[in-house]
């Protein structure tokens, strides 16, 4: 049984997970002709752990604030980009990073559309992408992330979302700081 999250006031945890699963599966099958298999969902509090690979983050802002991210290994990022652009990539290039960023944008954008029915309109930031080895990510606040792992063949991809009510909702200048996800360690 999953722990509760702040979004539970407006939507159930299972609705959020279902939105992530359907969006991720649709983007992989439609844009890459790839099938992903959803794994066991978990809720995680942030803690900084060294990570490697590719992380793409998109911010959400409206009456709720948050971020969504996709993280995977460099090898998996190359595989995704190869199918996305129909060109073989064996190393992480600009094209690979741009592809992962756009794939994340589509997944989180489609989750956002589903969430907006209950949480109201939200804006979507342009993606930020991080690629490297032994880096750490840490948000400024203690927040919970709903993490949905997927298997793409032997590769693991994590799609995670953190959403909290915006205390400044309704004010002219709403808060716009996006939380940063704890990144799963792929090394």
Binding site for other proteins (CB under 8 A): 26-27, 30-31, 81, 84-86, 94-95, 98-99, 101-102, 105-106, 109-110, 112-113, 116, 121, 124, 126
Q: How far is the CB of 166 from other proteins (least distance, A)?
A: 18
Q: Which of 180, 182, 164, 158 is nearest to 45 (CA)?
A: 182
- Residue whose CB is less far from other proteins, 46 or 66: 66
* Shortest separation between residue 79's beta carbon and other proteins, angstroms: 14
CB of 24 to other proteins, least distance (A): 10
Q: Half-sphere exposure of 57 toward its Cβ, with a 13 Å CA cutoff? A: 19
The smaller minimum CB distance to other proteins, of residues 2 and 124, is found at: 124
Please, are residues 136 and 48 in contact by the beta-carbon 8 Å criterion? yes
Distance CA 176, CA 174 (A): 6
Which residues, other chains included, contact 26 with Cβ-Cβ below 8 Å and sequence gap of 6+?
110
Quote the Cα angle for 53-113-129, to 5°: 20
Length reported for the chain: 187
Measured from the CB atom, is 99 or 143 closer to other proteins?
99
Of 38 and 85, nearer to other proteins (C-beta) is 85
CB of 153 to other proteins, least distance (A): 20
Neighbouring-strand partners of residue 129: 56
């Amino acid at each position: 049984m999953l722990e509760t999250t702040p979004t539970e006031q407006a939507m159930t945890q299972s609705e959020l997970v279902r939105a992530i699963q359907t969006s991720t599966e649709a983007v992989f099958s439609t844009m890459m002709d790839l099938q992903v298999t959803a794994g066991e969902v978990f809720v995680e509090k942030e803690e900084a752990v060294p990570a490697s690979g590719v992380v793409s983050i998109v911010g959400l802002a409206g009456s709720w604030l948050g971020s969504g991210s996709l993280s995977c290994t460099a090898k998996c990022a190359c595989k995704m980009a190869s199918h996305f652009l129909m060109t073989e990539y064996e190393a992480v290039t600009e094209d690979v990073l741009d592809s992962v960023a756009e794939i994340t944008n589509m997944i989180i954008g489609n989750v956002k559309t589903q969430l907006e029915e209950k949480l109201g309109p939200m804006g979507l930031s342009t993606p930020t992408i991080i690629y490297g080895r032994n880096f750490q990510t840490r948000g400024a606040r203690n927040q919970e992330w709903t993490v949905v792992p997927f298997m793409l063949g032997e590769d693991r991809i994590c799609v995670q979302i953190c959403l909290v009510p915006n205390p400044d909702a309704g004010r002219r200048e709403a808060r716009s700081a996006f939380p940063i996800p704890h990144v799963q360690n792929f090394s």
